[in-house]
């Protein structure tokens, strides 16, 4: 039994020794190197792409929109984003042409001899401009998606309330800053296109490439190369990059590689959506929230891409972990003229959870109540009804997480000491402690898993090894280790017999994308169903009941003992035995997409976070000192790996809240290099104490739920609340750096 054991990463040794080949390490004969010709403005009409007549383009492959043999769009949710712009330009850097040369130096030289002429128009840039326009002329904006949640009676809730509390909250961009930038390579063989790249979702890329090349999907093979990080940034963008390499390959007849440098990657690929949230709540004197009315705006950029589903999750998490009887949420994904934001760990939830968790402390601050007591007064519990009408029937552990957090952090005592000290004029360093309580729904929203119909497979080979065949990728989170643990434990065989290769769509079924905290919970369950079927086939083969004990088949009637590898060679002697199963969607999970009613997620993971900070009263520098986190994730398949995910996600979230600034200036990202986009280093790390609570989920493999996105949800608001405790002022935007604090202090006349 390998569940709950700290199994070393199967790919770890090859990674730390440099043996693994990433996409940039791959070489092929006659390979060309591609670059993108981009728009120089944020909005306008493309007039002409000029090629310098004094430069020899004879050995340069050039692709424009007119060369596309298929359809000129990238297939994601809605087919509105062109593969190569041919008429209207919607964001600075939008691809208008592609070039490829025998070496990258030659390609860059050619790029310098191409000029793009655009008749410029006035763009809509920046969240502040969106919010100003929305407040003044909401009908003048274009909305990609507009979900609404309605529960109870808003008017009655406000009429009954003792206090009305209002606040606005802003979050900015966040760059994924994966170690390995975007990269893709395409070649042709036997009439098929093979796209190899750093990616998350092979079965997203395949139809996108088929559309632009005019080929059938069966003629497109997507292979994941070892991937050096993604965090959501390689969910949808690889579809565009693969399409570009495929078009160059199609025209040149040669393999084509495209690897973005860091500046290009930061400047033009996806980021976390900036957000604006306005909360208005009716609250009783004891902190009980009777009614919440909210407006949510996400800057969705130039094209639809993934914004509807990102906003959907953000909307569904907007009430956080609180039972509120009357709710009205109006959410909008707003079109603008920036590169389309996309998926990022948390997928819309960190934005709205920041707003709600900061708002809870705002309520406590204004009503002079304890933020702990306000949370305790409103927490969801088993039997509670969420804003969508979903009734929570099992696994609600947020109260346990919060109580344990309060204990290990000594929150109540420290909060009062630091609150009184914030008014002191004698000390230069002010201390603060803040908390946040959060959740994250596992799997696709609503009926998404039903529509996806995910399939996974196992293959028993004659040599006695077992392969797990899934489309889910390992991008650092440990899929290639966790799934062998699940299969080996389910079959009770040595883990050394189980392999989980990286996806190749010519070999693996569509088990769905590696997103939404679904891989272990959903696909892991399918693998257990495959293992059950394998046991059934063994019983049919031997015509009696069987148990497997440490790799030995025990035939209960004849009392025979047969080694698993020997049994495998018998049952799979002529060809490998392939077993495929489909996810069994729970029939009780009913979702009304149009009205946003019903079961949004089958189960939730829970978390409570506290952070202690020191704030310099004169420089406004913030130093995180201690970070305490308690997470409930169902069952930790590999505790060491789970802790790594939880702590890594927490530090990534700390950067989101504390320092990661990504500003737009005339449509261009100012912080587009590692020298200017600042993320936490070892110097910024607080002492971390992480604990896991396990409340097994019956439909998860061995009780496991999702955990990958959960740790990004609570650290930023906890940080904001700690600064409120230290300084006594409400700062309602992130990142909270010294400049942010100075701005708020000036606005209040405190400096």
Q: Which domains does the chain have, with CATH numbers?
A: 27-122+182-256 (3.90.1170.50), 275-445+594-747 (3.30.365.10), 448-582 (3.30.365.10)
65-99: pLDDT as tens digits: 999 999 999 999 999 999 999 999 999 999 999 99
Q: What is the pLDDT of residue 436?
A: 98
Q: What is the pLDDT of residue 502?
A: 97
Q: What is the pLDDT of residue 57?
A: 97
Sign of CA dihedral 541, 542, 546, 548: negative
Which DSSP letter does residue 553 get? E
Q: How far is CA 685 from CA 178, 613, 659, 680, in A?
A: 19, 11, 13, 7
Token digits of residue 704 = 């496991």
CA atoms within 13 A on the CB side of 432: 27
Q: Beta 604-616 vs 622-632: how paired, if at all?
A: antiparallel
Q: What's the CA gap between 470 and 480, in Å, rounded?
A: 10
Burial class (CB in 10 A: 0-12, 13-18, 19+), 333: buried
Token digits of residue 339 = 């590169």
pTM: 0.97
For 742, phi then psi, to 5°, come to: -60, -40
Does residue 607 contact residue 713 with C-beta atoms inside 8 Å? Answer: yes
Does residue 444 contact residue 516 with C-beta atoms inside 8 Å? Answer: yes
Rounded to 5°, the CA angle 280-286-287 comes to 30
Biggest alpha carbon distance in the chain?
Answer: 87
Q: What is the pLDDT of residue 688?
A: 98
Q: What is the pLDDT of residue 567?
A: 94
Q: What is the pLDDT of residue 1?
A: 86
Q: What's the CA gap between 495 and 2, in Å, rounded?
A: 8
Q: What's the CA gap between 208 and 641, in Å, rounded?
A: 33
* Chain CA centroid to CA 586, Å: 24
Q: What's the CA gap between 44 and 47, in Å, rounded?
A: 9
Q: What's the CA gap between 611 and 714, in Å, rounded?
A: 10
Q: What is the pLDDT of residue 751?
A: 79
Q: What's the CA gap between 378 and 381, in Å, rounded?
A: 9
Dihedral in degrees, nearest 10, Cα atoms 285, 287, 291, 293: 110
Sheet holding 604-616, edge to edge: 429-441, 604-616, 622-632, 687-693
For 145, phi then psi, to 5°, come to: -160, 140
* Residues of the chain predicted below pLDDT 50: none
Q: Beta 466-469 vs 498-499: how paired, if at all?
A: parallel
Token digits of residue 375 = 């949370």
């Amino acid at each position: 039994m390998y569940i709950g054991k700290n199994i070393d990463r199967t790919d770890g040794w090859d990674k730390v020794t440099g043996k693994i080949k990433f996409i940039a390490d791959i070489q092929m004969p006659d390979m060309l190197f591609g670059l993108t010709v981009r728009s120089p403005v944020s909005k306008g009409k493309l007039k002409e792409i000029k090629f310098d007549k004094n430069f020899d383009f004879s050995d340069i492959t050039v692709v424009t929109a007119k060369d596309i043999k298929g359809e000129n769009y990238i297939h994601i949710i809605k087919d509105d984003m062109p593969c190569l712009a041919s008429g209207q330009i919607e964001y600075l850097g939008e691809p208008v042409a592609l070039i490829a040369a025998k070496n990258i130096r030659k390609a860059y030289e050619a790029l310098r001899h191409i000029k793009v002429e655009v008749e410029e128009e006035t763009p809509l840039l920046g969240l502040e401009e969106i919010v100003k326009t929305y407040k003044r002329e909401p009908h003048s904006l274009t909305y990609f998606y507009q979900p609404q949640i309605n529960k109870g009676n808003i008017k009655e809730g406000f009429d009954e309330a003792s206090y009305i509390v209002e606040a606005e909250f802003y979050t900015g961009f966040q760059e994924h800053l994966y170690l390995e930038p975007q990269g893709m390579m395409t070649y042709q063989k036997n009439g098929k296109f093979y796209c190899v790249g750093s990616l998350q979702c092979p079965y997203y890329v395949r139809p996108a490439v088929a559309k632009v090349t005019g080929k059938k999907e069966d003629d497109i093979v997507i292979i994941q190369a070892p991937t050096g990080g993604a965090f959501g940034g390689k969910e949808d963008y690889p579809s565009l990059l693969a399409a570009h390499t495929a078009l160059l390959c199609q025209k040149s007849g040669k393999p084509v590689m495209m690897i973005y440098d860091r500046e290009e990657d930061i400047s033009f690929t996806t980021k976390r959506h900036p957000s604006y949230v306005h909360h208005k709540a009716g609250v009783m004197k004891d902190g009980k929230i009777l009614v919440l009315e909210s407006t949510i705006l996400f800057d969705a950029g130039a094209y639809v891409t993934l914004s509807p589903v990102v906003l959907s999750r953000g909307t569904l998490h907007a009430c956080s972990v609180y039972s509120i009887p009357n709710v009205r949420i109006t959410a909008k994904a707003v079109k603008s003229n920036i590169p389309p934001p996309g998926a990022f760990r948390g997928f819309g939830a960190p934005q709205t959870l920041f707003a709600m968790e900061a708002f809870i402390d705002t309520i406590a601050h204004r009503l002079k109540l304890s933020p702990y007591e306000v949370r305790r007064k409103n927490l969801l519990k088993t039997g509670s009804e969420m804003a969508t009408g979903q009734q929570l029937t099992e696994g609600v552990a947020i109260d346990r997480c919060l109580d344990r957090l309060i204990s290990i952090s000594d929150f109540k005592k420290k909060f009062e000491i630091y609150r009184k000290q914030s008014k002191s004029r004698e000390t230069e360093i002010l201390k603060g402690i803040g908390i946040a309580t959060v959740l994250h729904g596992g799997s696709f929203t609503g009926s998404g898993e039903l529509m996806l119909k995910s399939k996974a497979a196992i293959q028993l080979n004659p040599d006695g090894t077992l392969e797990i065949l899934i489309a889910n990728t390992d991008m650092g989170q440990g899929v290639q280790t966790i799934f062998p643990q699940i299969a080996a434990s389910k079959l009770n065989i040595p883990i050394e017999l189980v392999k989980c290769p990286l996806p190749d769509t010519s070999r693996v079924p569509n088990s769905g994308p590696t997103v939404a905290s679904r891989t272990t919970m959903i696909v892991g369950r399918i693998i257990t169903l495959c293992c059950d079927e394998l046991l059934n086939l063994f019983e049919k083969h031997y015509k009696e009941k069987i148990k497997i004990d440490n790799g030995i088949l025990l035939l209960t009637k004849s009392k025979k003992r047969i080694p698993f590898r020997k049994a495998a060679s018998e049952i799979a002697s002529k060809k490998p035995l392939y077993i495929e199963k489909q996810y069994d969607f729970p029939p009780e999970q009913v979702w009304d997409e149009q009205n946003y009613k019903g079961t949004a997620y089958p189960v939730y993971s829970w978390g409570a976070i506290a952070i202690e900070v020191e704030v310099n009263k004169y420089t406004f520098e913030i130093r995180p000192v201690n970070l305490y986190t308690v997470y409930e994730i169902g069952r930790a398949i590999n505790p060491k790996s789970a802790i790594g995910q939880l702590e890594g996600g927490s530090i990534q979230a700390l950067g989101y809240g504390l320092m990661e600034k990504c500003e737009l200036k005339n449509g261009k990202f100012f912080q587009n290099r590692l020298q200017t986009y600042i993320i936490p280093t070892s110097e910024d790390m607080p002492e971390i104490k992480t604990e896991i609570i396990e409340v097994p989920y019956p439909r998860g493999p061995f009780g496991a739920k999702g955990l990958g996105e959960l740790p990004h949800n609570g650290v930023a608001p906890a940080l904001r609340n700690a600064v409120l405790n230290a300084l006594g002022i409400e700062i309602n935007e992130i990142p909270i750096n010294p400049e942010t604090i100075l701005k708020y202090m000036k606005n209040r006349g405190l400096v």
